[in-house]
Structure formats: C-alpha cells, structure tokens
C-alpha cells in the first residue's frame, strides 16, 4: 500500500467523509437483518428439537444449571452467518470482496471445522487435545488461504517470513477462540460481549475502509463483523437468562474465530511505512482496538491459565474461579454479573474508538469516567449471597 495511510483525514470523523452513502449502510443492514432472522428462527427450532430428542449431555458435576439444556447454539450462529454471506455475494456493493472468494471460503471452511468439533464436544465431551487439534486445523486453513498477520503498525514491523506469518496467525486465532470460550459461563455473556465488541469494531473497520478507492466501505472485516453481530443479536433472546439454548463450545469457538479473523484482516490493511509521527495514535488503533474489545475474555483467559498452571493443572481443566464466578460470589445476581461485564467491555471498546473521533484528552476522560462507574457498580452488589450464588440456571463450560 502506497501513499497516504487509510486513517489520514479521519482524525475527526464526521458526515459523508466517514459514513459514505446511505446505500452503503443499507447493504449492511440487509445482510444484518438476514442473519438476525435466520439465527433467531433456527435457535428456536434447535431448542425445541434438542429438548424433544434429548440432544444434550447429562449435567456434569461442575455444572450448576438444574435442567438439561441443549448446547447447539453454534449451529444457528454459523448458519445465520453463512446465509448472510450468500446474500451478500449477490449484492454489487460487496463484489470487491467476493471477486476473490478464496479468503471467504477459507474463513467459513475453518469456521465449519470448529463448529463441527464443538458440536461433537457439546454432545459427548471430547478431550482437550482433540479440541485443540481441531482449532489449529481450522486456523491453519484460514491462514493458509491468505488471511494472515503480515504487518504490525508498531515501529514499522513487517513480517517477511511466510512461515512466521502463518504461525503467528494460527496462534492468534487459537488464542482468541479459547479466550472467548473461557468466559462462556453465564447465560448471554459471550453473546452480549461479542455483540458490543463487533459493533464497535465494525465502526472502526468501516471508517478505515472509507479511504479504499477500489472498494470503499466494503471489506472482509466489515462483512464478518456485521454477520456475526446479526447472528448474535438473533441468538441472544434465546440465550438470555434463563437460557433455553446454550451457545456451547461450537458457538463460543465460532465467535472467537470470527472476531480474530476480523481483527487480523484489518491489521493487514496497515502499511507501517506510511505512518508519520503525527499519526502514531491512529496507527496504534488496529492493535489497541482488538485488545480493547477482547479485554474481558483475554484477561479471564490469562488469569485462568496462570491459576491452573500454578496448581499443577492443565490450562484446559475446568474450575470455578472465572471473573463471572467471582462476581457471583461477591453477591451479584446472574444478570447483574453479565451486565457488569457488558459495561466493562463497552467502556474500553467505545472509549478506545473515541480516539478516532475526538481529541485524545476527551477520549481519555470518557474511558476514566466509564471505568470509575463500572468499578463502583462492580464493588457494590445489591445483595449478598452466601450459600448458593449460582442458584439461577446457567452454564459453566470452562
């Protein structure tokens, strides 16, 4: 990429400069509506079929929900995204993305692998090595077809080694998949956190794409974020506490994979050599924003790995010490704990995005005020629960 970097001139985004024509947004709205509709309808069908035919595992010792609940939400999410992608492929606005279909096919091929592995695990409980092997295979398929980390907009770092690029991409995708899966312990938690994250990330990717003269406002990242957000929005009413259908490993791994791929495809658009000293802050956003939108799952994942290794356990052994468990033990209700984690995600994600729209000190102020408010709510539960903080039906899968 030569010439001006894609964020040039958008330090204060407003109007047509950032948002393009109404037609651009309507194209995204159409595929979002499709994914919402398919996700909701299929989730209802899977819930009813799962109950009727017993498509669920027996309740395990570490599970605390009272009734057997199907864990097939990943099927609904994947189908919704796939149908939405098929609709997008017929629209002229998305032609630049689908003219070279290999990356799209690779993404949905890799996603199919993790959903298939996840569904089997949700039904019969696979060992961690089998699940990890499936995740690596899925990430490898995607990276092999060109969705890779090829540059990092920090210090002008470009990865000239194809092998190194492939390995780092696979590691990043597997890391994010497991981080998202680790927080899938409360009804609606992953769906809501990912919905907020994808909404924010779509805005950033959309603004970034506005400078692409070949296909302004349309890219693999924006399509994936809209499709995933739509599928999650349709799924959330069925997954909200008390959940009728769990996302399961198939859904959580799918969500993590799609979020990782979106972030990687955006990062790959940045030319480190085109960054001037006055553009350092916008240049960091492709790295900072994915971290901000994923801070809750990544933090929980890191703490879980350290905690389990220090106890001589495998990082993939389940326990009851995740962030959401700690909130419940503090006295928050199930829904309060979920909403608190939503708030942390929103504050960090939206606050980081604000650096693109307002002066840096205003963005910092927004983040600080948001963090203060979230901290006050976190430390002030409405009630204290001492006997059974998990009395409400819920899923603890990691």
- Tens digits of residue pLDDT in 67-119: 778 999 999 999 999 999 999 999 998 988 999 899 999 999 999 999 999 99
**Is residue 384 included in any domain, yes or no?**
no
Specify the higher pLDDT residue, 277 or 220. Answer: 220
**Is residue 158 included in any domain, yes or no?**
yes
**Is residue 193 included in any domain, yes or no?**
yes
> Which class for 327: exposed (0-12), middle (13-18), buried (19 or more C-beta within 10 A)?
buried
* Interval 333-346: pLDDT, tens: 889 999 999 999 99
Distances (CA, A) of 390 to 36, 243, 376: 30, 14, 22
Distance CA 373, CA 52 (A): 44
Taking residue 129's Cβ as centre, other Cβ atoms within 10 Å add up to 10
CA-based radius of gyration for the chain: 21
Averaged pLDDT, 367-385: 83
DSSP secondary-structure letter at 354? Answer: G
**Is residue 76 included in any domain, yes or no?**
yes
Question: Which candidate, 300, 341, 254, 215, places its Cα nearest to that of 35?
Answer: 254
Q: What is the pLDDT of residue 155?
A: 55
Averaged pLDDT, 270-284: 51
Alpha helical stretches, state H, the chain:
15-19, 22-53, 73-89, 95-98, 102-124, 128-144, 162-182, 189-209, 220-239, 248-267, 280-293, 295-310, 323-330, 334-353, 360-378
Calculate helix-pair angle for 102-124, 220-239, nearest 10 degrees. 20
**Is residue 388 included in any domain, yes or no?**
no
Of 135-139, 285-289, 292-296, 325-329, where does mean pLDDT reach its minimum?
Answer: 285-289
Averaged pLDDT, 222-233: 96
pLDDT beyond 90 at 251:
yes
The helix or strand, by DSSP H or E, that contains position 152, with its residue range, turns out to be strand 151-152
Averaged pLDDT, 219-242: 95
**Residue 54 is part of which domain span?**
24-378
Q: What is the pLDDT of residue 294?
A: 80
In this prediction, residue 42 has a pLDDT band, given cuts at 50, 70 and 90, of very high
**Is residue 10 included in any domain, yes or no?**
no
In this prediction, residue 283 has a pLDDT band, given cuts at 50, 70 and 90, of low
In this prediction, residue 185 has a pLDDT band, given cuts at 50, 70 and 90, of confident
Of 50-59, 149-158, 165-174, 319-328, where does mean pLDDT reach its minimum?
Answer: 149-158
3-state secondary structure of 157: strand
* Interval 198-213: pLDDT, tens: 999 888 888 776 655 4
Contact 300, 30 (CB under 8 A): no
Distance CA 27, CA 88 (A): 8
3-state secondary structure of 153: coil
**Is residue 19 included in any domain, yes or no?**
no
Averaged pLDDT, 28-45: 97
Mean pLDDT of the chain, nearest integer: 81
pLDDT beyond 50 at 16:
no
Q: How many domains does the chain have?
A: 1
* Interval 60-80: pLDDT, tens: 555 555 677 899 999 999 999
**Is residue 60 included in any domain, yes or no?**
yes
The contacts of residue 64 (CB under 8 Å, 6+ apart) are: 390, 394, 396
Taking residue 202's Cβ as centre, other Cβ atoms within 10 Å add up to 21
Averaged pLDDT, 250-272: 83
The helix or strand, by DSSP H or E, that contains position 151, with its residue range, turns out to be strand 151-152
3-state secondary structure of 370: helix
Contact 348, 367 (CB under 8 A): yes
């Amino acid at each position: 990429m030569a010439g001006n970097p894609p964020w040039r001139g958008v330090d204060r985004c407003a109007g047509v400069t950032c948002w393009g024509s109404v037609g651009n947004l309507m194209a995204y709205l159409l595929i979002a509506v499709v994914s919402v509709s398919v996700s909701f309808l299929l989730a209802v069908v899977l819930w009813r079929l799962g109950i009727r035919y017993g498509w669920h595992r027996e309740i395990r010792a570490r599970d605390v929900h009272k009734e057997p609940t199907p864990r097939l939400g990943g099927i609904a999410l994947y189908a919704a995204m796939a149908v939405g992608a098929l609709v997008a492929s017929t629209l002229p606005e998305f032609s630049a993305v689908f003219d070279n279909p290999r990356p799209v096919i690779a993404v949905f091929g890799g996603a199919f692998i993790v959903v298939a592995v996840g569904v089997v695990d949700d039904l019969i409980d696979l060992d961690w090595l089998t699940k990890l092997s499936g995740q690596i295979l899925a990430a490898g398929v995607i990276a092999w077809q060109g969705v890779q980390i090829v540059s990092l907009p920090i210090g002008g770092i470009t990865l000239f080694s194809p092998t190194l690029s492939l390995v780092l991409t696979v590691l990043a995708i597997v890391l994010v998949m497991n981080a998202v899966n680790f927080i899938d312990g409360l009804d609606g938690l992953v769906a809501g956190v990912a919905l907020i994250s994808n909404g924010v990330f779509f805005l950033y990717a959309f603004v970034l794409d506005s400078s692409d003269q070949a296909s302004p406002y349309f890219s693999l990242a924006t399509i994936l974020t809209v499709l995933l957000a739509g599928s999650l929005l349709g799924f959330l009413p069925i997954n909200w506490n008390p959940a009728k259908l769990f996302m399961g490993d198939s859904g959580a791994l799918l969500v993590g994979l799609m979020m990782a791929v979106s972030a990687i495809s955006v990062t790959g658009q940045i030319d480190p050599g085109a960054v001037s000293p006055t553009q350092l802050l916008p240049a960091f956003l492709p790295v900072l924003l994915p971290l901000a939108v994923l801070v809750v799952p990544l933090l929980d994942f890191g703490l879980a790995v350290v905690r389990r290794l220090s106890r001589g356990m495998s990082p993939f052994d389940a326990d009851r010490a995740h962030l959401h468990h700690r909130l419940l033990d503090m006295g928050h209700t199930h829904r309060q704990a979920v909403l608190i984690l939503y708030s942390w995600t929103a504050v960090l994600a939206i606050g980081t995005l604000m650096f693109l729209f307002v002066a840096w000190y205003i963005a910092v102020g927004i983040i600080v005020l948001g963090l203060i408010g979230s901290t006050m709510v976190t430390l002030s539960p409405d009630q204290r629960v001492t006997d059974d903080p998990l009395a409400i039906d819920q899923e603890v899968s990691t």
